[in-house]
Every structure is written in structure tokens, then in C-alpha cells.
Amino acid sequence: MPTYTDMTKCDGCGECVDICPSNIMHIDPVYRRSYNIEPNFCWECYSCVKACPQNAIDVRGYADFAPLGHKVRVLREPEKGVISWKIRYRDGRLKEFVFPIRTTPWGSIKSPSDYELPDLSALTSQMLSHEPTALHVPALPTINMAKA
Amino acid sequence: MFTNNPFAALTGFLPPLVMQVYIVLMTLAVVGGTLFDAYHKGSAKFFALHRMKKSAAAQRRLSGGETFSLALETVAEAVMSSEFCKWPRRISHLLMMYGFFLYLITTVAMISAYPAGTPTPTILPMLWTVGALMILVGGLWFFFFLRVNVAFDGASPFHLGRADLFVGSLILSVAFALLWHGVQTTYGNITAAWILFGLYIFFTTLLFVSVPWSKFAHMFFKPAVAFQRRIEEANGSSDLPSPSTENYIVRS
């Protein structure tokens, strides 16, 4: 189900435009609120839904196979590390789901440029960047290349 | 410059009554424009239907005290512009909002209460100038750096569209007001002062008569929608999921 923006709730902050991997969340030139310019191309990753601080983005099925009447709403609580979903089915049933999405505070993940540049020996390392410290483990298993 | 009533010099050409009638006409333009906007877009009808639907879906009735408390919370949110999630937009909005109130109130006071021949307390022109400067700082900051189509959508900082009608006419109105005031008090160039006054009146009129096409009316709609949202959250008719009872942030 692709996303759409409720313009009465959107405050035009641009978070969804920034995060959309498909580059289909844009700013309406008349009302300066976000909107999905091409629902057919929506990957349905819901990054915009989760990033919206105003809970202004919902999802809905295509009108040809899912007649309107259902509703999917999302509540973002970054201070608790949780995204909650409320699904209203067309027959009126309601279901709620709570998804823990992270265990560290929102905005606390450092960008790659915040780390020191690795030296050239890192090219031969079996570790990925900032492993194992970034995974909060003392060590990771490695393959013995001499035996392999 | 900052202590003279800018409208006092006009009274030789424009009687105070004409200026007061202009204020009344602009007030009527805002009221009429807002009503036309609500009718034309069907937003009032949509809002009323939504409200009825949510009242029917309410899981409990709110007492008068609870409703009053929610109204106070809504007012507090509007007063502090706390609906904005990013501090630059919030500060820019606060500068424009309080600058506009200050500028508007002092303009009305200087034209209505201190017509020709009546000495104007120096605090009024000073506050008028401060209000205009606040609008300019907040407005230009927003226009060139914070507009979402510029900051996130790749538009040029000089891009102009219908969405800019409100903020553009507001910035130009106060900019020409300050320029006109400066020229008439500091340089005394009559021709330049009249040209700047004409531009000031043009953009001020545009600001108030363009309400049906601009976002001027958001100052009336947004608090109403915010209040309704709080009512829905309180009476259980909101579509949003219930807040999580657990906190999953365990590491810093």
C-alpha cells in the first residue's frame, strides 16, 4: 500500500522528502506540504511514515483492488524507540501493533564522517567498518585464511 | 527615525479618516477572504463532518473542565509555536508571528488613536519598527534558508510560487514600510517617499486581499484543527494507535 500525506497534519518540515529512497515525496507548490507524487512507484518501505514527526503520513491500498474504508495509522514515539500501527479493517475490526525499532536514542547514531579515517591495513581486515566496537561486542569470529 | 509616527506625515495628503477606513476595509477583506476560503475549498464542511463523525465515535464524554484544559493546551502550543519539530522553523515562526502582532497593533494604534496634531508616545513607533524588523529577520531567514522546497526539494532560494504569496507579500510590505519611514524622516526626499509609500500600500493590500489564495487564514484554521486533534485523543476517537507503555531505549 503506498503512502499519502494528510495535508491538514503536515507542517512541511521536509523529513519525508529527505528520507524517501524512491524520491517520490515532494513538496506541493501551492500549499507547501508534502505529497506522494507517484504512488505507483512507491516501494512501500514506509520510511516517510516512520520519519514524519507529525504522524501526517498514512498508507492506503490502490483504489482498484482495495476499495476505501480501511485505514492504517502510525504513531511514532522516538523517545521510546517505538513505532505503533493501528489497522482498521473494512469490516470494522481494529488491530494494534507495537514495533520496537531501536535501543539507542533517536539521532545518536554517528554518521561515517564522524569517525576517524581507517588506515590502509583495514582493507585486508575481515571486519566491516567500526566492527566490533559499533556492535557492542568484544570480538567477532574470523576465518583463518591460512587454513581456508 | 525610530521615534516618529510614520503616519503623521501623511495627514496633509490623507486624512486620518481615510487611513482608518483603509484599516476597516482590510479587516473586512481578511474576514471575507477567510469565509470565502472555507466555503470555496469545502474545508468548513469537511471539518464539521469530521467533527460529527468523531463525536459519534467518542468512547467517553469530556467534561467542561477537561475541554477547557485542552483549549488552554492548544493556546499554549500556538503561543509557543511548539507544533514545529525543528527549532530554526520555530524561532523563525515566532519572530514573524510576534513581529506581525506588534507591527499590526502599533499601526492600528498610531492611525486610530494618534491622528494629526496629537503627539504620539515614542514607544509606539519604536515598537512598530521592532515588529517590522522581527518580521524581516524571521521572514528572510525562512524565505532563503528554511522554505522546505528550497531546503529539501532542490528549489532555488529565489523560487517564487503561489505558496510564497503570504510570506512574500508580508516581507515586501514591511520592507517598504521601513524604507518609506526611513526616507521620509532621514532624507526628506518627497518623490522617493511617495514611491516607497505606494509600494508599501500595494504589498500591504496584496497581503490582506489575497487571503483566499494565500495561507494567511492558517492562523485561524490551525488552532481549530489542533484543538480538535486534542479532543479526539482525549475522548478516544482518534485514529492513532495508543502510545506504547514500554520504553525500548536501553543504551545511550
Hey, is the C-beta of A99 within 8 angstroms of any chain B C-beta? no
Active site residue A43: yes
Q: Which residues on chain B are in Cβ contact (under 8 Å) with A26?
A: 153
Q: Is the pLDDT of residue B39 over 80?
A: yes
Contact (Cβ atoms closer than 8 angstroms) between residue B148 and residue B25: no
Q: Please report, rounded to a whole number, the percentage of residues in chain A having pLDDT higher than 90.
A: 31
Hey, is the C-beta of A96 within 8 angstroms of any chain B C-beta? yes
Backbone angles phi, psi at B143, to 5 degrees: -65, -45
Q: What is the grid cell recorded at B228?
A: 480538535
Query: Residue A138's CB: how many other CB atoms inside 10 A?
Result: 7
Contact (Cβ atoms closer than 8 angstroms) between residue A24 and residue A36: yes
Q: What is the pLDDT of residue B1?
A: 64
What domains can be seen in chain A, in order of their start residue? 3-100 (3.30.70.20)
Q: Which residues on chain B are in Cβ contact (under 8 Å) with A32?
A: 147-149, 163, 215
Predicted complex: ipTM over 0.85: no
| Strand-pair category, A25-27 with A34-36 | antiparallel
Q: Is the pLDDT of residue A64 over 70?
A: no
Q: What is the grid cell recorded at A48?
A: 516517510
Q: What is the pLDDT of residue A107?
A: 82
Cα separation, B229 vs B131, in Å, equals: 32
Q: What is the pLDDT of residue B214?
A: 87
Q: Which of B19-23, B37-41, B103-107, B115-119 has the lowest mean pLDDT?
A: B115-119
What's the rounded mean pLDDT across residues A73-79? 89
User: How far B250 CA lies from chain A's nearest CA (Å)?
Assistant: 5
Instruction: With CB atoms and an 8 Å threshold, state whether A18 touches B225.
Output: no
Query: What residue segments make up the domains of chain B, in order of their start?
Result: 8-235
Query: pLDDT tier at B207 (50, 70, 90 boundaries)?
Result: very high
The model carries a pTM of 0.82
Q: Is the pLDDT of residue A32 over 90?
A: no
Query: Least CB-CB distance to A75: which of B240, B247, B251?
Result: B240
Cα separation, B170 vs B128, in Å, equals: 14
Q: Residue A84's beta-bridge partner residues? A: A75, A98
Q: Which residues on chain A are in Cβ contact (under 8 Å) with B229?
A: 9
